[in-house]
Amino acid sequence: MTTNIRINSDRLWDSLMELAKIGATEKGGVRRLALTDLDKQARDLFVRWCKDAGCTIGVDKMGNIFARRPGKDDSLAPVMTGSHIDTQPSGGKFDGNYGVMAGLEVIRTLNDFGYETNRPIEVIVWTNEEGSRFAPAMIASGVYAGAFDLEYGLSRKDVDGKTIGEELQRIGYAGERECGGREVAAFFEAHIEQGPILEAENKTIGVVEGVQGIRWYEITVTGQDAHAGPTPMPRRKDALVGVSHMVLAVNRIGMANQPYACATVGMMQVSPNSRNVIPGTVFFTVDFRHPDADTLQRMGAELNAECEKVCRERKLELDFKEIWYSPPVKFNGDCVAAVQKATEELGFSNRRIVSGAGHDSVYMSRVTPTSMIFVPCKDGISHNEIEDAKQDELAAGCDVLLRAMIERANA
């Protein structure tokens, strides 16, 4: 019955390119941080497109946007899809944006064919998925799923001290609706892989079985600021030299837990950051990932021990905080099967895959049957302005999404 329904590849591509103009960078990427004026513009465009497609719009207290296409029986729990439209400071056109535009394209396609699903269909824009402006990442889907309370979500601050709550008010997306608490039949998220596996193996679709666990640390090392000239080497308490050993330890721990572990120091603040002053304080972050919860836990314990040792030897003070833990996730068997079946019916090459990146689906999977659909991205590169994906592969992922959603919406 659904055999002849296909999404419109050009329309999906054109929508992605139109959205990418908002915050476009010279190198072909997008800089559209959460809850900025540019984010508001992109949200407004999404809302306008959804209204044009006949959807009703709801916004919840975390600013998550829900565009709804009614079902034949509108009292049934909806089948949902969605992702995010905030980006990294030097982000790409496809991360997150693809999942949202794919959801919109599903609705436009159902409209084209006059196809009514039993259950309603909803497309979601999740607030602040990236965690770049406001940590932690995936905060608003986290509140939706009950992983964080609303107060915590609204009070997260950016580096200038502005909160999510204030910024939602400012751009007009502080909604009335409670976060979560509704029954949802299934959630699907289409996304670029953000890794090299599908491209390397020449597969069009990644049927995502789950997501790696993540642990985030914030570490501050304190020594003593001192003049770079008169202070003899043996007397120094150089925080940056100590931290350099810790950065190498992070990398060593990652390499010791291959093939799955990832270990990254991505942010560092050196104080006072002056060329002729010995650094007295260094703040840095660590991002550890592994699909096995025990291994991930061990990696963190090992790093903690290593940092303590460095500080003991160098007479430095250590403040070691774990600020976030996202356990490894296994997606729902029925939803994974729906994606697999749709992929096979459409004849796309595929493989099972575990996501290396966190996604809103991680939190959604706690409250509703969930799975994801991956498509390849060029050289596996994401969180970069040169992030790229092929129109036909993006369309393939969207066709899989359409089919999987129709199946679940009629079940």
Site residues for Zn ion per CB under 5 A: 95-96
Q: How far is the CB of 184 from Zn ion (least distance, A)?
A: 20
- Asked whether the CA dihedral 409, 83, 197, 24 is positive or negative, the reply is positive
Q: Which residue type, as a one-letter code, is found at position 308?
A: E
Shortest separation between residue 355's beta carbon and Zn ion, angstroms: 10
Q: How far is the CB of 374 from Zn ion (least distance, A)?
A: 11
Of the pair 95, 238, the CB lying nearest Zn ion is at: 95
In the complex, minimum distance from the CB of residue 257 to Zn ion, in angstroms, rounded to a whole number? 24
Residues in contact with 218: Cβ distance below 8 Å, sequence separation at least 6, in sequence order: 283, 284, 285, 321, 323
Q: Which is nearer to Zn ion, 126 or 288 (CB)?
A: 126
Beta carbon nearer to Zn ion, 80 or 307: 80
CB of 81 to Zn ion, least distance (A): 14
Nearest distance from residue 372's CB to Zn ion, in Å?
A: 10
| Tokens encoding 20 | 């990418």
In the bound state with Zn ion, the residue whose beta carbon lies nearer, of 137 and 303, is 137
Tokens of 319: 């403040």
The residue number with the shortest CB distance to Zn ion is 96
Would you put residue 403 in left (φ > 0), alpha (ψ -120 to 50) or beta?
Answer: alpha
The C-alpha atoms of residue 144 and residue 135 are separated, in whole angstroms, by: 16
Name the one residue in this structure whose structure tokens are 């990254």.
264
How far is the C-alpha of 396 from the C-alpha of 375, rounded, in Å? 8
Q: Which is nearer to Zn ion, 141 or 368 (CB)?
A: 141
Place of tokens 């008010």: 169
Name the amino acid, one letter, at 43.
R
Looking at the DSSP bridge assignments, the partners of residue 190 are: 373
Closest CB to Zn ion among residues 143, 282? 143
